[in-house]
Structure 1
Amino acid sequence: MADPPRGFLRRHARKFVISACTVGGAYALYKFVQWKWASRAAEEEARRLDVARLEHHFESNQRTCDMTARSLLPMLRTSLFEHVNVERLIAALKSSSSSNKSEVWNEVKTKTLTQLLVAVYSACFLHVFLRVQLNIIGGRLYLESAEKEDEEEKTKKKKGANFLPITQTVQTRYLNLVECLFDTGMIGLVKFVDDVVERRMDEIGLKERFDATRFSQFVEEIRRDIEGDDQTSMARLVGASLPTNGGIFNVNSQSLSHAEKDQLQGLVEATRDFLENPDFCHVLGKCIEAGFSVAVQSVERKIDKDAVPLAKLLPMVVVDVVPTLLKDSSEFFNRIMELPTLQKFAENVYDAFRR
């Protein structure tokens, strides 16, 4: 008589094998799915951390833009008042003989409005130009930081001097480009605006009265002459203050290594491309629109309900309005900084250079 257990096993061996394979396969599948989910969760967590780090770095970069703009406003004010010195003309009026007071008054008319217009234009140029510069640099530094954390990816991406870490010397030379706005850029902008204002002011007498509506309309008329109605006209205005052919891009590359010169040239060319892009003019136009809205309202608050003669209005602009606009805590400054269009443009610049 056969051993019952052994006979049972022999009769059901195939079932046992199939069951063992099924259980083993199910367990293997379970472990695979578990590993896959863990791997996916780890990847998702890594992506979330990357997004959080990117957002933190970008927001920190925008705060740097704002602080830099605030720190440069005193230089902008000094340059503006130096190149459009209305105070000197007013002092000359008090000491001038009656024979040439008329000429000095005509110059005061022109220079006062030129100063107001250039204050708005130059401040807007400063904000948008800094957004381009600092987000180009910020995007590149983020890329370098990401590459350092992944040596294998770094080796794949890094090709020649363009992907070498940007040295502090190159960063400093590049960021010094903004100083052109206070020198040759200011000279070009003042001349561009002053020529238009002078033609318009020839038609206006000192006794002509302005109420809030009339002043707003007058500024709009002058702005149309300066900015035009298309991108080409705005590009000419940009070119007057930020000349892309020479001028602002005459950077000092002395004492730099060959690799550093390549880096600096790459940053300069990237900046030139952004300045010549229609998006730059569009964003700048939005900033200018917001800036003039605040500037004109500031002048209007100085006007009583009744219209005032131009001769009375001009000192208000020189003494109260322009200096207030160029304070770092002014409504004018904050309005420009908070523009959604400017923020979106900054994101696009940053994103282009972090990939």
Structure 2
Amino acid sequence: MLSRMSDFLTRHRRKFIVTGVVVGGSIFLYKYAQNKLMEMQEKQAREFLEKSRRVQHFESTEKTCNQVILGMGAELIQAIIKECSTDELLEQLKQNPPNKLELWEEMKIQSFTRLTTFIYASSMLVVALRIQLNLLGGYLYQDTTTSSTDNQKGKKSPGKINDELKQQYLSLIRYFIQEGGLSELIRLVRSKVIDVMRQLPLTKPLSLADTEQLFWSLQMAINSDPSTDPCSKMTKYLLPSQLPDYISGGAMMQKMFNETLDLLESDEASSVCSNNICRGFSLAVDAMAECYKHTLSSKATTSQQQNDFNVNTIQIALARVIPIVSSLTAKGFDSDTRPQNLATSLLTFYVISDKTKVLGANVYETFSST
């Protein structure tokens, strides 16, 4: 019996070996594939969770960014109203002085300077804060993920960004509002307004199309010098040329400051700012059209006359346009006012602009995954 079994095994030894190899290999391959599948599933789960955390953190960053923009935007608008005030001119004009023509000329320059500065300054501030908050948000996300990884390994590592550094970094934009950047922008805008509007008599009739062309001429004049163009040289107005002495953030602060300067001077940031400014002037023209309609309809004696008005064909003397322009920029940001005034419309549009949001998302993506 045993000899038969031995002979059988001897005769079929190769078959048993092959069968063993096949069965063993199959089991090994099954286990290997199972392990690889589990690793792939775990990797996909980690990537999904990381993506979810990043999206949540980005959305939180954007919400904070919008709140900061509206808060600082309101402060900026008030600073412009104060620096480009027309109150004194209006008081003098009420006295019907002998130099009222000169006062009206100054009123013309001041009103258009304030409106133009509204549009440029608010666009620049929104672009700057969108870049700053998302750059900071990206670094904070890195800190969060690094800290989480170290905790899993039983390590403790301090984050790169502490509260003091955050506050000092975000305070840099104060240069624009409080330390001369805005005043420098106003001086540039005023000089270009004088160049463009000096030859326009107060009696010149203007249609809405003429006003649009006037705004376009102002844009071309302001953007004409590459060394002072507010779109491509935003850093000249928004931030100090170097970190102030009171900043104590060390190498990390210097790194973030340099990166912010580079981003503000990038083609994408310049394009977004320029696009916002063009749209801002369009909003100003729309607001002026509403004022035209209100003024003209109030003078109509019948409902038929009101229906016959075509605001695009009506021409109004520049002297009558000046009070309209001045009134558009006489009030600051107020989210509760309906209909919205120009300052509120500008800031709201700049905040929700798709191009501005994409700029912020690109900055966040870059610095959260470095």
**TM-score, with normalisation over the residues of structure 1?**
0.86
Report what 1:171 is aligned to: 166
Q: Does 1:190 align with 2:186?
A: yes
Q: Residues of 2 paired with 1:57 and 1:343: CA distance?
A: 15
Instruction: Please give the residue correspondences for 1:106-125 in structure 2 after superposition, counting only pairs within 5 Å.
Output: 106-125=105-124
8 Å Cα contact 2:232-2:270 kept in structure 1: no
Letter of the 1:264 counterpart = M
Once the 2 structures are TM-superposed, how far is the Cα of residue 244 of structure 1 from its aligned partner?
Answer: 5.0
Instruction: Please give the residue correspondences for 1:4-43 in structure 2 after superposition, counting only pairs within 5 Å.
Output: 4-5=4-5, 7-43=7-43
Q: Residues of 1 paired with 2:46 and 2:173: CA distance?
A: 37
Q: Does 1:181 align with 2:189?
A: no
Q: Does 1:222 align with 2:218?
A: yes
SS of the counterpart of 1:98?
coil
Report what 2:318 is aligned to: 310
Instruction: Please give the residue correspondences for 1:109-148 in structure 2 after superposition, counting only pairs within 5 Å.
Output: 109-148=108-147
Gaps of at least 5 residues in structure 1 are none
Instruction: Please give the residue correspondences for 1:171-320 in structure 2 after superposition, counting only pairs within 5 Å.
Output: 171-183=166-178, 184-228=180-224, 233-234=229-230, 238=234, 241-242=237-238, 245-246=241-242, 249-250=243-244, 252-253=246-247, 256=248, 260-304=249-293, 305=311, 306-319=314-327
Once the 2 structures are TM-superposed, how far is the Cα of residue 236 of structure 1 from its aligned partner?
Answer: 6.7
Inter-CA distance 182–20: structure 2 relative to 1 (3 Å threshold): same
Report what 1:79 is aligned to: 79
Letter of the 1:196 counterpart = K
Q: Residues of 1 paired with 2:330 and 2:258: CA distance?
A: 35
Q: Residues of 2 paired with 1:213 and 1:245: CA distance?
A: 40
Q: Residues of 2 paired with 1:344 and 1:269: CA distance?
A: 21
8 Å Cα contact 1:189-1:241 kept in structure 2: yes
Inter-CA distance 239–110: structure 2 relative to 1 (3 Å threshold): farther
Q: Residues of 1 paired with 2:105 and 2:264: CA distance?
A: 36
Q: Deviations over 1:312-336 (max 9, x none)?
A: 22222222x2256844574433332
Q: How many residues are aligned here?
A: 340
Q: Deviations over 1:216-236 (max 9, x none)?
A: 111111111112397974557
Report what 1:322 is aligned to: 329
SS of the counterpart of 2:173?
helix
Which range moves more in the overlay, 324-333 or 82-91? 324-333
8 Å Cα contact 2:207-2:316 kept in structure 1: yes
Letter of the 2:283 counterpart = V
**TM-score, with normalisation over the residues of structure 2?**
0.83
Q: Residues of 2 paired with 1:14 and 1:252: CA distance?
A: 84
Gaps of at least 5 residues in structure 2 are 294-310
Which range moves more in the overlay, 228-237 or 98-107? 228-237
Once the 2 structures are TM-superposed, how far is the Cα of residue 132 of structure 1 from its aligned partner?
Answer: 1.2
Letter of the 2:322 counterpart = L
Instruction: Please give the residue correspondences for 1:38-117 in structure 2 after superposition, counting only pairs within 5 Å.
Output: 38-95=38-95, 98-117=97-116
Report what 2:360 is aligned to: 346
Once the 2 structures are TM-superposed, how far is the Cα of residue 103 of structure 1 from its aligned partner?
Answer: 2.0
Q: Residues of 2 paired with 1:64 and 1:154: CA distance?
A: 32
Q: Deviations over 1:269-291 (max 9, x none)?
A: 21122223333222211111122
Once the 2 structures are TM-superposed, how far is the Cα of residue 243 of structure 1 from its aligned partner?
Answer: 5.4
Q: Residues of 2 paired with 1:60 and 1:152: CA distance?
A: 24
Match of 1:336 among 350, 353, 358: 350
8 Å Cα contact 1:211-1:308 kept in structure 2: yes
Q: Residues of 2 paired with 1:141 and 1:284: CA distance?
A: 26
Query: Alpha carbon RMSD of aligned pairs, Å?
Result: 2.8
Q: Deviations over 1:15-72 (max 9, x none)?
A: 3333223212211111111111111111122112222222222222122211111112
Inter-CA distance 280–293: structure 2 relative to 1 (3 Å threshold): same
Identity %: 25
Letter of the 1:225 counterpart = A
Letter of the 2:266 counterpart = N
Runs of 4+ in 1 over 3 A off after TM superposition: 1-14, 152-155, 229-237, 323-331
